[in-house]
Amino acid sequence: MINDLLRNNLEWAAAKARIDPEYFRRLSAQQSPEYLWIGCSDSRVPANEIVGLEPGELFVHRNVANLAPAQDMNLLAVLQFALESLKVRHIIVCGHYGCGGVRAVLDGQRHGIIDHWMQRVQRLYEDHDSELAAIQDPEARVNFICEKNVLAQVRALSRNPFITDAWKRGQPLSIHGWIYSIRDGLVRDMETTITGPADVSRLEQARSQPRSRPRIPGRGRSS
């Protein structure tokens, strides 16, 4: 199976060079993406492909459940490099419905190290227990927390010192919250875009307002 991957690579590289002889020369030049994507490690969510971008156009950080904790050195290294070296203009937090990490929190079982990583989502689950109690469908419960998780990570990033410093020095930077449905391949904008400190308070106010529970992906237009 490993040899199959190496053979696939040879065929892919040859096909790219045949279609566009300058492809790899251009790609080997300094990358200059305008976007940083913070997404889930789920293998069914290929960041570049679902937004139609080529390699070099999207700087990507992925982890289980698309978290953005300020204590994660991996995330911080990616964030600082994206902001200070690449000068990205947009940060996209993209969750997805049916996330296995979120599902692991809601099933109430022990899963090992992932339980420690998912403590922030566990707190979301506890904060919204009354709303979850009103949702009977197990899949809708998972998707409800998937949405809340995206909003929480956008808020966390808006308070991150690397981002607040970028805004203070006048660097154009927006943070967006999206969610992807594996069932239909579509991305939904969670309408949480933050372009500066003034938007942070707006998002906090929206947080306190009730939000209708999500529909299960594949059962409606907004799923």
Residues near 73 by Cβ (< 8 Å), separated by ≥ 6? Answer: none
Is 217 a domain residue? no
pLDDT by residue (tens digit) across 149-187?
999 999 999 999 999 999 999 999 999 999 999 999 999
Q: Is the pLDDT confidence value at 222 over 50?
A: no
Is 223 a domain residue? no
Positions marked active-site: 40, 42, 44, 96, 99
pLDDT by residue (tens digit) across 33-74?
999 999 999 999 999 999 999 888 999 999 999 999 999 999
**Same structural domain for residues 77 and 172?**
yes
Q: Cα–chain-centroid distance for residue 10? A: 31
**Same structural domain for residues 179 and 191?**
yes
CA distances from 82 to 41, 69, 89, 106 (A): 19, 16, 9, 33
Is 220 a domain residue? no
Q: At 37, list the tokens.
A: 């994507």
Task: Please give the tally of structural domains in the chain.
Answer: 2
Q: Is the pLDDT confidence value at 78 over 90?
A: yes
Is 213 a domain residue? no
Q: Provide the domain limits for residue 176.
A: 31-207
Confidence of residue 212 (pLDDT cuts 50, 70, 90): low
Is 110 a domain residue? yes
**Same structural domain for residues 136 and 186?**
yes
**Same structural domain for residues 99 and 26?**
no
Confidence of residue 207 (pLDDT cuts 50, 70, 90): low
Q: What is the CATH number of the domain that holds 47?
A: 3.40.1050.10
- What is the bridge-based pairing of β-strands 90-96 and 174-180? parallel
- In the chain, the percentage of residues whose pLDDT exceeds 70 is 91
**Same structural domain for residues 13 and 48?**
no
Contact predicate 94/147, CB 8 Å: no
- Determine the pLDDT at residue 201: 75
What is the reported pTM? 0.88
Is 112 a domain residue? yes
Q: Cα–chain-centroid distance for residue 27? A: 24
Mean pLDDT value across residues 115-144: 95
**Same structural domain for residues 54 and 7?**
no
